[in-house]
């Protein structure tokens, strides 16, 4: 079970090319066709809603349930990363990726994220990632980072924080963004 504390999603847990997992969760084509015909014949809000309900793959509901589990968001982000790396060899995984992308747009939009200023009181996990992923002006360790953060006039570092993926901030800088890799993290206590 990838959701148990300390366990991570791995490529070994990904569906193999021989499985029907991508097909088994897709919407029933006949029901989608029938709902589409009903909407085409009578484009009412009710018929549109029915079409949307029928066309949504069942795996999206599965992903929503997984997202509610402690560490579920981080695991799903990691799952998407694994799926993207394997799509060339397994083209059928593109539908799984599309479902995860659709849900991630809802879960991780700016309305659900908090923009925080980075200073010396910021979590050590976030500061370590800033040191690790700084691409333009390499940070030469903790002392260099502290010096930069204390320079209030020049410190424009910010990061997006999510209660769902605690240890995977997205660093935002003026004129560019550096999105850090997702890692499984403990759920927040809040």
Q: Phi first, then psi: what are they for 40, rounded to 5°?
A: -65, -40
CA distance 29 to 55: 8
Answer yes or no: do 18 and 102 share one domain: yes
Number of domains into which the chain is organized = 2
Answer yes or no: do 127 and 70 share one domain: no
Rounded mean pLDDT for each run of 10 residues along the chain, 190 residues in total: 45 53 78 97 97 92 90 87 91 90 83 77 84 82 87 66 55 38 35
Answer yes or no: do 64 and 144 share one domain: no
Residues 6 or more apart whose Cβ sits within 8 Å of residue 177: 170, 171
Closest Cα to residue 168, out of 81, 74, 84, 75?
Answer: 74
CA distance 127 to 107: 24
Range of the domain at 152: 114-179
Give the pLDDT confidence score for residue 99 in this predicted structure.
92
156 C-beta neighbours (distance < 10 Å), count = 11
Q: Which region, left, alpha or beta, applies to residue 175 given φ > 0 means left and ψ of -120 to 50 means alpha?
A: left
Residue 4 belongs to a domain: no
Which pair of structure tokens corresponds to residue 72? 């579920």
Query: Of 44, 78, 107, which marks where a domain is finished?
Result: 107
CATH number of residue 90's parent domain: 1.20.140.90
Residue 187 belongs to a domain: no
Residue 184 belongs to a domain: no
Residues 6 or more apart whose Cβ sits within 8 Å of residue 87: 93, 94, 97
């Amino acid at each position: 079970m990838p959701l148990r504390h300390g366990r991570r999603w791995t490529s070994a847990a990904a569906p193999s090319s021989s499985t029907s997992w991508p097909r088994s969760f897709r919407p029933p084509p006949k029901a989608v066709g029938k709902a589409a015909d009903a909407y085409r014949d009578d484009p009412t809000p009710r018929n549109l809603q029915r079409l949307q309900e029928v066309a949504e793959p069942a795996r999206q509901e599965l992903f929503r349930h997984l997202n509610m589990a402690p560490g579920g968001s981080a695991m799903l982000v990691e799952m998407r990363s694994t799926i993207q790396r394997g799509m060339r060899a397994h083209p059928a995984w593109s539908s799984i990726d599309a479902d995860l992308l659709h849900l991630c747009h809802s879960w991780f939009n700016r309305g659900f994220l908090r923009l925080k200023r980075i200073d010396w009181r910021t979590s050590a996990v976030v500061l370590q990632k800033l040191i690790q992923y700084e691409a333009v002006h390499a940070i030469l360790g903790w002392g260099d980072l502290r010096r930069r953060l204390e320079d209030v006039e020049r410190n424009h570092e910010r990061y997006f924080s999510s209660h769902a993926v605690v240890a995977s901030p997205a660093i935002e800088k003026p004129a560019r963004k550096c999105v850090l890799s997702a890692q499984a993290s403990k759920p927040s206590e809040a």
